Every structure is written in structure tokens, then in C-alpha cells.
Amino acid sequence: MSIGNLKDSGNQGNNFPWQLKMLQGLQGIIDELQGSLDVTIINPLGQQVMADSVSVVIASDQAGVARTPGIIRATGAGTIAPLVYDFSVSNVGAANGTILGQTIKPGETLNFGAGAVNNYYAASTITYNGTGTELVIIYNA
């Protein structure tokens, strides 16, 4: 950062004071945003519909997380691997199958997502049965 590089008697060629003030200002903005904000919603007719408070949390670490993709071509019964973040199942056979105890008809595809970053399904709860048909299941673990 060279914008604040002032040459005065105490900080010749040094812009540390300016950089520090900029960083402190940014930290102040972050601190303020992590509190509650008053929100007013106005409908298209200009009338106030609702007033509420919204909490805002800024994630300090938004680095990506590696996931392991998997695929199962099921012609029998089983469960999906542990810590499944999302999965899809397609019935590519000619007869009904089941997923989570419910019928999946031939030609149907169902998609499941755990709803938010790092939410997951427990493996023992994701049961399938492709006996008499073929289920193609893809998932991220």
C-alpha cells in the first residue's frame, strides 16, 4: 500500500500509520456487520409488511472442502457410505425400487441435499433397494 506513504519527520518513507488505520476501519466494519441489523420490508404498494432483526455472521474461513464423489449401481439392497453431503438416485430399470423406504418408479430421478454448507446425512439412514431393477446412485461423501 503506497497511497499513505507520507514523508514527514517521524515516518520518513513509512506508510504504517495509514495502513493500520485502514485495517482498523475494515475490522470495525466487520465487527458492526456481525451484530444485528434492523430490516424493514416494503411491499410493491409501498406499505411496510414486516420489521424484524436479522443476524449476520461473516465466516472467517471460506476455503473449499474436498469431497469424495461416489457412484453405486444397485441391483440389491444396501446403505450409502457415511457422512453423505448430497445424493441423487435414478431408477434406470423396468421395475419399482425403493430409496429411504419409499418407491422410486422406473425413469424417476430424486435429488437430496443436506441444506447448507457442511450439513450431512448419516449413512445408516440412507437405505435403498434395487432388487428387480437397477438404481444409479451418485453422492458426495
Give residue 1's pLDDT: 43
Task: Give residue 67's identity as a one-letter amino acid code.
Answer: R
Render each residue's pLDDT in the chain as its tens digit; 141 residues: 445 555 555 556 667 777 888 888 888 887 777 665 566 666 667 666 655 555 555 555 556 778 889 999 999 999 987 788 889 999 999 999 999 999 999 999 999 888 777 788 876 788 999 999 999 999 988
**Alpha-carbon Rg of the chain, whole angstroms?**
27
Q: Provide the 8-state DSSP code for 37.
A: E
- Give the number of other CB atoms < 10 A from CB of residue 138: 14
In whole angstroms, how far apart are CA 43 and each of 37, 40, 50? Answer: 19, 10, 9
Whether 53 contacts 36, CB under 8 Å: yes
Asked, for residue 63, whether it belongs to a domain, the answer is no
- Residue 5: which domain range? 1-58
Are both 73 and 132 inside the same structural domain? yes
Tally of structural domains, the chain: 2
Is position 64 within any domain?
A: no
Pair 37, 82 in one domain:
no
Residue that terminates a domain, selected from 13, 33, 58: 58
Residue 5, helix vs strand vs coil:
coil
Kindly state whether residues 34 and 78 are assigned to the same domain: no
